[in-house]
Amino acid sequence: SLASTAVTCFTRGLDLRKETEDVLCPANCPLWQFYVFGDGVYASLSSVCGAAIHSGVITSAGGAVRVQTLPGQENYPAVNANGIQSQVLTRWASSFSVTRTKNTALEAVGRAVSTARPSTGKRPKKPLDKKAGNKDCKADIAFLIDGSYNIGQRRFNLQKNFVGKVAVMLGIGTEGPHVGVVQASEHPKIEFYLKNFTAAKEVLFAIKELGFRGGNSNTGKALKHTAQKFFSLENGARKGIPKIIVVFLDGWPSDDIEEAGIVAREFGVNVFIVSVAKPTTEELGMVQDIGFVDKAVCRNNGFFSYQMPTWFGTTKYVKPLVQKLCSHEQMLCSKTCYNSVNIGFLIDGSSSVGDSNFRLVLEFISNVAKAFEISDIGSKIAAVQFTYDQRTEFGFTDYTTKEKVLSAIRNIRYMSGGTATGDAISFTTRNVFGPMKDGPNKNFLVVLTDGQSYDDVRGPAAAAQKAGITVFSVGVAWAPLDDLKDMASEPRESHTFFTREFTGLEQMVPDIIRGICKDFLDSRQ
């Protein structure tokens, strides 16, 4: 039949209504603008004409194509063919295939034209590692969108467009930001998790498919639910990556949001509020709590709140919001004691310790280190062994994963020799903590010794504390209590530990961890 439906360059499989449909693709569609997913069998999100060129049914000169609807499948592959790079899609609900139509008259015309003028559809160079995403933007983000009657269906769609633009500009990828969406209405609904998609295209389509729920805007309830349930490791949250909730609010919440803000901060989540259409003077009487923004955000310092006058013309607001979401050093609420400390261990390697006790010391250090989230943007560990001499076993930046740190601790070899603890403290302050002094983490030094030092410890320890290092002293066997107290930070009682036997070190592990966390929290107040 000659009855072909004329389509545009961007008509997708899912835009066609019949099981089998003959379409006529226009000429000179820009190849690089095609979204095509799969190879041979294409996800119905794909452009029909793009798929037809990709599979070689037509050229960029256009022509007639028969489109056959097929069931959905998993793992549509990415294949580069005929100037079009198709993309991976994990799964989609329906597919289609493309074949030549039997309409040879149209085909002949199409072919004649195509030999006459070669395609100019040049594809711009893509960055090589598209899948990895923007590695400089470290974030796991939940977009908490407003699905209440406050916003209504039309503005809900504008909100989806805005969130989609933000998602694309973030540079989502396996090593870049990951995002999910929660819809707040009467009851919160997690629409998709961080682990569901790692490509911007997939996220965009998932956002497009979201349906409007309606109901009261119980933002507080949704925020609390998201802080508690969304960021689990099994749902795709990554260790050491800042957790962020971006709350979109049209007007004001119907419920109390203050408690939810507190819960989010306890869970180490950074809350941003994007408020659109602030309540007017007449409406203020209906708002439960006028200061709702200040109470919910991570810190009331202006950084975490963002205002847009309306949902129209929001494009210019995309980039500044993305820049905020990507500045991980500003994510004050991510900083818990477990991911924001540098702990240096100063280990007595003198001959009185002995080989088997030295192993117990290393075990003690491993068990303390194990409790922390070690990464290039998280906590860091260093170790120095001393006798009369000092040896840096590893510095803070040598190993950035827990596995590597623990294996480095296991591989420390026992030196054996004298005991110059004061010198060792000075050496560690200068060489190990020195390079870290302007970093964001809080610095701790744990000194382990089993005996009297041959030199003065008080001066070097005071200098370390003056340099911003909190010192814990751990003494075993013959270590004199006066030395231990002279080294420890104030209040000395809670920073000084002692055990008769090396086997007693194990019981101290939780107390040391708790001490570090208490000091960390006190320093943030």
DSSP 36-88: -BEESEEETTSBHHHHHHHTTSSBTTBEEEEEEEEEEEEEEPP-EETTEE-B-
The pLDDT of residue 380 is above 60: yes
Residue 194 clears pLDDT 50, i.e. is over it? yes
Alpha-carbon torsion 401, 407, 410, 413, what sign? negative
Residue 146, phi then psi, degrees to nearest 5: -85, 115
Range with the poorest average pLDDT among 256-260, 357-361, 518-522: 518-522
Q: Compare 14 and 106 and report the one with higher pLDDT.
A: 14
> What's the rounded Cα separation, in Å, for the pair 465 and 471?
7
Full set of structural domains in the chain with CATH: 5-100 (2.170.130.20), 140-330 (3.40.50.410), 341-523 (3.40.50.410)
Q: Is the pLDDT of residue 461 over 90?
A: yes
Query: What's the confidence (pLDDT) of residue 525?
Result: 57
41-43 and 89-100 strand pairing: antiparallel
Please compute Rg for the chain using Cα positions. 31
Query: Which pLDDT band holds residue 283 (cuts at 50, 70, 90)?
Result: low
pLDDT (average), residues 274-303: 78
Bigger pLDDT: 244 vs 439: 244
Give the rounded percent of residues in the chain with a pLDDT score beyond 70. Answer: 91
Tokens of 54: 């990709």
Lowest mean pLDDT among 32-36, 247-251, 346-350: 32-36
**Rounded (10°) CA dihedral 189, 192, 193, 198:** -160
436 Ramachandran zone, left/alpha/beta (phi>0; psi -120 to 50): alpha
Whole-number Å distance between alpha carbons of 414 and 407: 15
pLDDT of residue 28: 83
CA distance 479 to 360: 17
Torsion of CA 409, 415, 417, 420, to 10 degrees: -40
pLDDT at 110 over 70: no
Per the prediction, the chain carries an average pLDDT of: 88
**Residue 55's pLDDT band (boundaries 50, 70, 90)?**
very high
Residue 111: pLDDT band with limits 50, 70, 90:
very low
Share of the chain above pLDDT 90, in %: 61
Ranking 29-38, 47-56, 268-277, 422-431 by mean pLDDT, the lowest is 29-38
- List C-alpha distances in Å: 82 to 51, 509, 525: 10, 63, 61
Stated as kind and residue range, the H or E segment containing 327 is none
Query: What pLDDT, in 10s, does the model give residues 468-517?
Result: 999 999 999 999 999 999 999 999 999 999 999 999 999 999 999 989 98
Q: How far apart are CA 247 and CA 223, in angstroms?
A: 8
Alpha helices in 242-317 (DSSP H): 258-266, 292-296
How high is the pLDDT of residue 369?
97
pLDDT average, residue stretch 293-320: 90
Give dist(CA 192, CA 262) in Å, integer: 24
Cα 473 to Cα 481: distance, rounded to the nearest angstrom:
10
Tokens of 327: 């500045």
Of 214 and 337, the structure prediction assigns the larger pLDDT to 214
- The more confidently predicted of residues 355 and 93 is 355
* 393-424: pLDDT as tens digits: 999 999 999 999 999 999 999 999 999 999 99
Q: Identify the pLDDT of residue 385.
A: 98
Query: Strand 390-394's sheet: what is its strand order?
Result: 390-394, 380-386, 341-348, 442-449, 469-476, 496-499
DSSP-derived secondary structure letter, 141: E
**Residue whose entry in the numeric block shows the structure tokens 């919001």:** 321
Query: What is residue 165's three-state secondary structure?
Result: helix
Tokens of 134: 């923007």
pLDDT at 101: 81
pLDDT of residue 118: 39
Q: pLDDT value at position 282? A: 63
**Bond into 127 cis (ω within 30):** no
Give the pLDDT score at 401.
Answer: 92
Among the residue ranges 59-68, 187-196, 448-457, the one predicted with the least confidence is 59-68
Q: pLDDT band for position 85 (50/70/90)?
A: confident
Q: Residue 211 corresponds to which tokens in the numbers above?
A: 């349906």
Q: 177: which 2 tokens?
A: 């930001």
Given a cut of 80, whether residue 464 has pLDDT beyond it is yes
Find the range with the poorest average confidence among 52-61, 121-130, 381-390: 121-130
d(CA 173, CA 72): 24
Closest CA to 398 of 410, 384, 408: 408
> Given strand 269-276, what is the order of strands in its sheet?
189-192, 178-184, 140-146, 243-250, 269-276, 305-308
Per-residue confidence (pLDDT) for residue 281, from 0 to 100: 65
- Predicted local distance difference test score (pLDDT) of residue 138: 86
Query: pLDDT value at position 358?
Result: 97
CB neighbours of residue 26 within 10 Å: 15
H or E segment and range at residue 192: strand 189-192
Which range among 17-31, 270-284, 468-482 shows the weakest confidence by mean pLDDT?
270-284
pLDDT of residue 12: 87
Closest CA to 33 of 16, 46, 23, 14: 46
Residue 396, judged by CB atoms within 10 A of its CB (0-12, 13-18, 19+), counts as: buried
Q: Is the pLDDT of residue 141 over 80?
A: yes
Give the model's confidence band at 280: pLDDT under 50 very low, under 70 low, under 90 confident, else very high: low
In the prediction, which pLDDT does 279 show?
67
Asked whether the beta carbons of 272 and 301 are under 8 A apart, the reply is no
Structure tokens, 285 = 């009487």
Given this model, what pLDDT does residue 253 score?
84
